[in-house]
Each structure stands twice: as structure tokens, then as C-alpha cells.
Amino acid sequence: MKFIIIILAIFLSSCKLNKVVNHHGTHNLENKSKEIFVKKTNINKIRSLLGPPSTKSYFDNDVLIYIERKTSNSRLFRLGKRKLIANNVLILEINNKGILIKKEFLTQKDLNKIKFTEKETNVEINKQSFISKSLSGLKTKINDPLGKKRGSLEK
């Protein structure tokens, strides 16, 4: 009887009432994005509000990408698999003067609607050359295990 009570106490002590939420990226991205306005907000205000971007892109204009991802442990019957709570992306395009010219906020539903191309790039690799390059160092060690031929000068 004592054994069952001990096992039950250990099991119940590890239960938590509040779920642990793991954040990755910028916290509260949706609320912070509401404070940013097109043609009014500059790069300094964006960086002070959101911090450094998750990703940058330099084409005609600077594109800053901020990512927020929240996950939590699922219930016991799912055996600890993570549940995705939020997956948000904020894309900001800034002109050469440092002013925001385009703002796009994408939620998890918006990201699921994005179509990716099915095309594949074929890369031909010459397997013989790859293998011969990989094994060339091994071949020289087999032919000269002490390194006398490579490192010594004949006198």
C-alpha cells in the first residue's frame, strides 16, 4: 500500500497546472506590429521596438523579416509532442532613406496558403571524381605511412 502511495505521489508531483510555452523570435509580434505605420515609421523606431530582425534581405530596398513562434507541450495522451500555438511572420520593406514603405503581417493560416513550386533543380555530381578526391588523402597515407616521402628533403 505504501508503495502505491509513493508511486502516486511521484506521478502527481510532476504534473503542472500551467503549460510551459516556449517562445522563439520576437515576443508579441502582432501587438508590436500595430505600432508600426507605413510611410511614418523609420528604421530606428523599428529596431527599438522589435530589436534585430530574424532575417535581412538586401535587394532594391532593405527587407527585414521578424519571426515569432510559440510551442507548448501537448497533453499526456499525445506523449509530449509539441503543439504549435502561434507562428507569425512580419515582413517590413524599408527604402534607402530608412522609412517603412511596405508592411505585411502573416499568421499561421496565411503561411499555410502560400504555394511553393514543385520544380526541382537537378545537380549532376561526378561520383568518381568525388570518391577519388575523398580518398586521395587516404591513398597517400597508405603509400607513405610515415610521411618520409612528403616531408623530407633528400640530401
Number of domains into which the chain is organized? 1
Hey, how many other C-beta atoms are within 10 angstroms of the C-beta on 3? 7
According to DSSP, the residues that pair with 88 across neighbouring strands are: 68
Q: Residue 124: inside a domain, yes or no? A: no
Residue 95 in any domain: the answer is yes
In a domain, 79, yes or no: yes
Q: Please report the pLDDT score of residue 143 as a whole number.
A: 73
**At a CB cut-off of 8 Å and minimum separation 6, what does 20 contact?**
72, 73
Predicted pLDDT at 115: 78
Residue 66 placed within a domain: yes
Please name every residue paired with 66 in a beta bridge, in sequence order, or none if there are none.
Answer: 90
Per-residue pLDDT tens digits for 106-152: 888 887 777 777 888 776 665 556 666 667 667 777 777 666 665 55
Domain-located, residue 105: yes
**How far is Cα 49 from Cα 45, in angstroms, rounded to an integer?**
6
Give the pTM: 0.61
Residue 139 in any domain: the answer is no
CATH code for position 91: 3.30.1450
Domain ranges, residue 53? 38-114
Please check whether residue 47 lies inside any domain of the structure: yes
Query: Is residue 132 in a domain?
Result: no
Listed residue (95, 92, 94, 69) closest to 82, CA to CA: 69
Environment class of 73 (CB within 10 Å of its CB; exposed 0-12, middle 13-18, buried 19+): middle
Name the band, by pLDDT with cuts 50, 70 and 90, for residue 40: very high
Q: In which band, very low, low, confident or very high, does the pLDDT at 155 lie, cut at 50, 70 and 90?
A: very low
pLDDT tens track for 11-34? 665 555 566 778 888 888 889 989
